[in-house]
Structures are given as C-alpha cells and as structure tokens.
Amino acid sequence: MTEPLCLTDLFLAEPSLRRAVHGYATAGSLRRILLRAVLIMREVVTALPRDFMRWMRGAPFVPVRMEPGEQPHAGATRVGLYVHYSASGRVSDMVRCQLDLLGQLGFAVVFISMASGIPEEDWQAVRRLCALVVQRRNFGLDFGAWRDLMPEVHRRWPVPEELCWQTTVCWGRSIR
C-alpha cells in the first residue's frame, strides 16, 4: 500500500547566526568547515559583479530554446522541474525514464537543460515526455534555472500545490 502524497509544513525561520552555526557545525572537521567557508566566499565574490551587472541592465531571461512538450498538463496542480546538464548534450535513458515516471505521477514536467547543444533526436524524445522543454545557457547552475523559469512556470500553472525539483549532471560520456 502506498501513502498518499502530501506537502510538509515549512518552518520559516529567519536566517540567523544560530542557524548558520548549526549548519556549519554539522559539516565535519574544523578544516573542512573552513575550506567550505572559503569556497562559499569565493563563489559569492565572483558572482556578485555579474549579478549586479545583470540587475543594472534589467535584462529579462531569454532561453536559448523553449518549446511546449506533448504532455501539456493544463491546470496541473503538481509541477516537476527537472534540471539537466550533460557535457555531451545527450539525454540518457535514465533521465528519460525519470521524466516518464514524474509524468505518470501526475506532474507537469518542465525539462531545463544547460547543455550547450542537445541532439535533435534527444530534444524530441524529451518533448514527448514533458509539458515544457527549455534550453538555457549554463549560468547560475540549478538555482539560476529555478530563478529564470519560475515566472514561466507560474504563468502556465498559477497555483501548484506541489513542486518537485530534481537535478541531474553527467560529466562524462552519456551511456545509452
């Protein structure tokens, strides 16, 4: 017997020193904590100028390519965002299986790829499984994809009761 799907209550605590200390205290050794802090600072310092320039320009998100899929799920209350990156641009059978399963569970699936080029055969295979298929430039990683696509998701499905987020990265050659 399977349990019915349901949302959990969110605990909306304000960011605070206590919360940060707890997060870092569970990260391991002092050396590991310091290394992680340095890496985070480096990411923030390198991203701030680009984010500031983007904000100053007021440039809207422009996808490389965006097409409706063949599973529109109009009026869906469950939306699944699937962020994909593959160095080769290929979409593996494993990813296609996951997209299919999300669709079978009633999710309107939004496939977001940050690969520089996706073979047309793979693009069309993904379109058959999804409600929306997007290729965007590889900037901002998965959180950038979230930021860029949420206005479009909200426009298409204004009141989702459930939102699923999944990220898949393939650095090597795609296994078919």
Domains and CATH numbers, the chain: 17-57 (no CATH), 65-170 (3.40.50)
**pLDDT at 63 (0 to 100):** 87
Query: What distance in Å separates the CA atoms of residue 22 and residue 33, rounded to the nearest whole number?
Result: 12
Q: What pTM was computed for the model?
A: 0.69
**pLDDT at 104 (0 to 100):** 92
Q: Are 85 and 114 in contact (CB under 8 A)?
A: yes
> What are the distances in angstroms from CA 18 to CA 23, 25, 44, 86?
9, 10, 21, 38
**pLDDT at 42 (0 to 100):** 87
Query: What distance in Å separates the CA atoms of residue 154 and residue 79, rounded to the nearest whole number?
Result: 10
Alpha carbons within 13 angstroms on the beta-carbon side of residue 33 total: 11
Q: How far is CA 23 from the centre of its chain?
A: 23
Residue with token string 């409706």? 68
Mean pLDDT by 10 residues, the chain (176 residues): 60 65 68 82 81 78 90 88 91 94 93 92 96 88 81 89 79 48
| H or E stretch at 71 | none
Instruction: DSSP letter for 116, please.
Output: S
**pLDDT at 112 (0 to 100):** 94
**pLDDT at 37 (0 to 100):** 80
Residue with token string 């430039």? 137
> What are the distances in angstroms from CA 78 to CA 103, 104, 145, 160?
10, 11, 18, 5
